[in-house]
């Protein structure tokens, strides 16, 4: 019985050639991998395991005891150092491969000595199967090309084809004996069940991946999905760092659009007016700061309207608003007021609210709020008692009656609500962009902290360096990053000025409080600081220096994956900011007579609005309703 069972798995005949076998009518060729890359990443064997043809991959592992490992490393270091000294004594050029090997040997020796890892002997063998000899030749060429792309040197087991085939059978026999020394981390990355793809939240589920599609995986043939609001996430924040032109805003807009599909409410701080077309296409609210009549009053108290129509506010709303006004004044003035000025400002803020009948009694908080002009007048009235108040009143004059009064000259004229709210800061003067960003974040935070709204929300701050360069603004952004998780919200910070973010403690704290971190192409001047902050390997560092537009590294906890952002033609039209493409879209609309209607035919079965100035999109039709223009801040 045992003999008949063994016969079922035994081929009828085996024909042995120099570089191939013919096993039961099937042609087989084997390889031994003799050259490996200097650095490997988790799942680096996945391209071999997912090869479309029949390819057997066999990994043989033999542990080396610590005493033998230390002795061999010592001998290897002696050989390498001897060679280097001989080269230096004879004035020859250094061999880069020897220098790299010496550096790796020293690093490996120190880690083994500290007990941080062990050494193993690893043999990697491949066997290709094909139905005919000609097909086998094609498969062999394809496999060797694949190995070369992975920096693997695969050699034929010439005149040992039978031993090579047996070494890849599931019998645990290594008849070739061509092995390479691996340490613990490299061996763990070689484990066949590892993958360069992000782990699924529930590996046993057959449901479609949850979260947002970022693009395709550069290390495998899979797609990169990530759910910032998934279970097990410490927070829902994200930080995106990349130099100008790396595709940072493109990726942010893609994530924004795909998050809207999932019912996430989003608010965007847009410094360059890049989100206007997207907002109009999906029926969002577009707030054009810097346009006539568009104002945000920093004195407004956070009054929330509940589902039953009742209006509520936190018990300490007035105190918190008074403290926030200190931050507003500091950003307006460009520096922290001195101690005497802070005392005068505190008295003036209290007097300003009292002048309009708002006191510590919550029943008075629904009354119309004062304005910056009222605060200036209170400071001026305090001049008899405190000269510091006179200086503050004078410094606030440009924002009350001078050139920069348009943002504060009256009560708030907008109520930003909706599934997508975009605050455009492009037309604000440079002197007001920092305070405009701060007031916008404050308006967004009021809605985020509204307990009556129970749905996931995202707050996107594009070009965050405008706010991070101000100490008070950076502190406010840090507080939002710390507290947004409690309100089922996530903060997305995107900036091209990596040095400004990582150069301050507050900037590093914002990065540290982001569970999702995305690095796009980096400038060579900033890569050292980025590598140190994010603990990048040499391979990841090289990837970020040479990444194409749209390529990046997504880091989520202990998982990292290299991806390339992809978009459909419809999505690309909505999110691109390439001037040449936008001009082409405008020319197409004009040539087809669609410029007047504000629509352009993309040629993919859908039409989207161009968003011409003066048009307001309410989700159903385009029009030029003057009232809507004032309410939404339209031009």
pLDDT tens-digit readout, 75-101:
777 777 777 777 777 777 777 777 777
Write the pLDDT tens digit of every residue in 103-137: 777 777 777 766 667 888 889 999 999 999 999 99
Which has more confidence, 298 or 1?
Answer: 298
Average pLDDT over residues 457-464: 84
Pairing between strand 607-609 and 599-601?
Answer: antiparallel
Give the DSSP H/E element, type plus range, for residue 377: helix 372-381
Which range (108-112, 263-267, 475-479, 621-625) has the least confidence? 621-625
At CB < 8 A and 24+ separation, what contacts does 574-579 make?
574/253, 574/257, 574/277, 574/278, 574/281, 574/608, 575/250, 575/253, 575/254, 575/257, 575/278, 576/250, 577/249, 577/250, 577/272, 577/274
Cα dihedral 108, 111, 115, 119 in deg (nearest 10): -20
- When mean pLDDT is compared across 91-95, 241-245, 284-288, 505-509, the lowest value belongs to 91-95
Q: Could you identify the residue written with the tokens 């004078």?
A: 394
Measured distance CA(500)–CA(518) in Å, rounded: 17
What is the arithmetic mean of pLDDT over 271-276?
83
Determine the pLDDT at residue 597: 41
Integer Cα distance of 602 and 267 in angstroms:
27
Average pLDDT, the chain: 78
| Nearest partner of 290 among 414, 396, 436, 411, judged by Cα | 436
Residues 6+ apart with CB under 8 A from 222: 197, 216
pLDDT at 196 over 90: no
pLDDT, tens only, 575-610? 888 788 878 877 776 676 555 443 333 333 333 333
| pLDDT value for 340 | 84
- What is the pLDDT at residue 138? 92
Q: Does residue 400 carry a pLDDT above 80?
A: yes
**What pLDDT score does 154 carry?**
92
d(CA 223, CA 596): 40
Q: Which residue has the higher pLDDT, 471 or 406?
A: 406
Q: Which pLDDT belongs to residue 200?
A: 57
pLDDT at residue number 571: 87
pLDDT at 244: 82
Could you tell me which residue, 605 or 241, shows the higher pLDDT?
241
pLDDT of residue 516: 87
Q: pLDDT band at 500, cuts 50/70/90?
A: low
Q: Does the structure show a pLDDT above 50 at 612? A: no
77 close to 105: Cβ distance less than 8 angstroms: yes
**pLDDT at residue 168, rounded to an integer:** 92
- Residue range 324-339: average pLDDT? 84
Range in 149-158, 267-276, 501-510 the model is least confident about: 501-510
- State pTM to two decimals: 0.62
Q: What is the mean pLDDT of residues 332-355?
A: 85
Q: Is the pLDDT of residue 407 over 90?
A: no
Q: So what's the pLDDT on residue 143?
A: 92
> 297-411 belongs to which CATH class?
mainly alpha
pLDDT of residue 160: 92
Which of the four pLDDT bands, split at 50, 70 and 90, describes residue 631?
A: very low
Residue 333 CA, chain-centre distance (Å), reads: 33
pLDDT in tens, 17-70: 899 898 888 899 999 999 888 777 777 887 888 788 889 999 999 888 877 777
Distance from C-alpha of 147 to C-alpha of 130, rounded to nearest angstrom: 18
pLDDT attached to residue 621: 32
Q: Measured between alpha carbons, how far is 425 from 440 in angstroms, rounded to an integer? A: 9
pLDDT band at 525 (very low <50, low <70, confident <90, very high): confident
pLDDT at 263: 86
Which tokens is 166 given? 């047996």
Which pLDDT value is given to residue 312? 64
Task: Please state which CATH class domain 236-294+420-572 belongs to.
Answer: alpha beta
The string of pLDDT tens digits covering residues 534-550 is 888 888 888 888 888 88
| Residue 630: strand, helix, or coil | helix
pLDDT in tens, 256-272: 998 888 888 888 888 88
Reported as a pLDDT band with limits 50, 70 and 90, residue 198 is: low
Burial (Cβ within 10 Å: 0-12, 13-18, ≥19) of residue 101: middle
Q: For residues 449 and 13, what is the distance between their CA atoms, to the nearest angstrom? A: 76
Residue range 545-565: average pLDDT? 86
- Do the Cβ atoms of 241 and 394 come closer than 8 Å? no
Above 70 in pLDDT, residue 307? Answer: no
Task: Give the number of other CB atoms < 10 A from CB of residue 492.
Answer: 26
The four Cα atoms 211, 216, 218, 221 give a dihedral, to 10 degrees, of 100
Which pLDDT score is estimated for 463?
Answer: 76
Least trusted range by pLDDT, from 349-353, 567-571, 589-593 = 589-593
**Lowest model confidence (mean pLDDT) among 43-57, 87-101, 325-339, 426-440:** 87-101
Q: For residues 299 and 286, what is the distance between their CA atoms, to the nearest angstrom?
A: 22
Given a cut of 60, whether residue 618 has pLDDT beyond it is no
Whole-angstrom Cα distance, residue 465 to residue 463? 5
Q: Can you tell me the mean pLDDT for 430-449?
A: 81
């Amino acid at each position: 019985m045992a003999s008949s069972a063994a016969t079922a798995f035994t081929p009828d005949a085996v024909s042995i050639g120099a570089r191939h076998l013919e096993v039961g009518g099937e042609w087989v060729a084997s390889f031994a991998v003799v050259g490996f890359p200097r650095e490997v990443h988790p799942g680096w064997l996945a391209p071999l395991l997912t090869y479309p043809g029949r390819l057997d991959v066999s990994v043989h592992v033999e542990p080396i005891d610590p005493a033998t490992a230390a002795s061999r490393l010592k001998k290897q270091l002696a050989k390498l150092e001897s060679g280097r000294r001989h080269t230096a004594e004879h004035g020859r050029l250094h061999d880069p491969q020897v220098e790299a090997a010496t550096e790796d040997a020293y690093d490996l020796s120190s880690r083994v000595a500290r007990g941080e890892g062990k050494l193993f002997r690893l043999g990697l063998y491949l066997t290709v199967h094909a139905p005919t000899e000609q097909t086998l030749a094609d498969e062999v060429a394809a496999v060797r090309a694949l190995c070369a792309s992975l920096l693997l040197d695969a050699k034929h087991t010439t005149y040992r084809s039978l031993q090579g085939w047996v070494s890849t059978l599931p019998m645990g026999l290594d008849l070739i004996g061509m092995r390479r020394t691996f340490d613990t981390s490299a061996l763990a990355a070689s484990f066949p069940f590892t993958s360069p793809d992000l782990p699924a939240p529930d590996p046993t589920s057959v449901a479609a991946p949850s979260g947002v599609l970022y693009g395709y995986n550069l290390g495998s043939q899979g797609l990169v999905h990530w759910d910032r609001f998934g279970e097990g996430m410490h927070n829902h924040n994200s930080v995106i760092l990349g130099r100008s032109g790396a595709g940072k805003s493109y990726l942010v807009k893609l994530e924004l659009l795909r998050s809207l599909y999932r019912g996430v409410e989003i608010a965007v701080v847009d410094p360059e007016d890049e989100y206007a077309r997207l907002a109009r296409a999906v029926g969002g609210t577009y707030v054009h700061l810097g346009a006539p009549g568009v104002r945000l009053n920093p004195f407004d108290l956070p009054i929330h309207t509940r589902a039953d129509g009742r209006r509520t506010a936190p018990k300490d709303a007035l105190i918190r608003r008074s403290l926030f006004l200190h931050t507003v004044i500091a950003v307006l003035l460009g520096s922290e007021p001195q101690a005497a000025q802070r005392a005068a400002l505190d008295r003036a803020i209290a007097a300003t609210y009292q002048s309009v009948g708002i006191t510590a009694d919550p029943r008075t908080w629904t009354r119309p709020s004062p304005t910056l002009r009222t605060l200036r007048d209170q400071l001026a009235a305090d001049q008899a008692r405190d000269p510091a108040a006179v200086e503050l009143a004078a410094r606030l004059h440009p924002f009350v009656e001078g050139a920069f009064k348009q943002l504060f000259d009256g009560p708030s004229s907008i109520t930003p609500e909706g599934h997508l709210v975009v605050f455009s800061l492009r037309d604000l003067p440079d002197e007001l962009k920092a305070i405009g960003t701060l007031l916008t974040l404050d308006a967004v935070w009021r809605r985020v902290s509204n307990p009556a709204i129970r749905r996931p929300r995202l707050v996107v701050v594009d070009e965050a360096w405008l706010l991070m360069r101000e100490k008070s603004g950076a502190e406010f952004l840090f507080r939002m990053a710390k507290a947004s998780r409690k309100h089922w919200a996530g903060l997305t910070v995107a900036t091209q000025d990596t040095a400004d973010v990582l150069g301050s403690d507050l900037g590093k704290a914002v990065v540290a409080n982001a569970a999702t971190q995305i690095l796009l192409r980096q400038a060579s001047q900033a890569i050292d600081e980025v590598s140190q902050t994010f603990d990048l390997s040499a391979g990841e560092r090289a990837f970020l220096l040479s990444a194409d537009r749209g390529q990046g590294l997504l880091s989520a906890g202990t998982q990292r994956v290299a991806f390339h952002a992809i978009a459909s033609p419809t999505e690309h039209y909505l999110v691109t900011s390439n001037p040449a493409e936008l001009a082409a879209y405008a020319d197409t609309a004009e040539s087809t007579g669609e410029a007047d209607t504000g629509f352009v035919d993309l040629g993919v079965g859908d039409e989207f609005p161009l968003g011409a100035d003066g048009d307001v999109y309410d989700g159903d039709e385009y029009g030029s309703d003057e009232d809507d223009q004032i309410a939404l801040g339209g031009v």
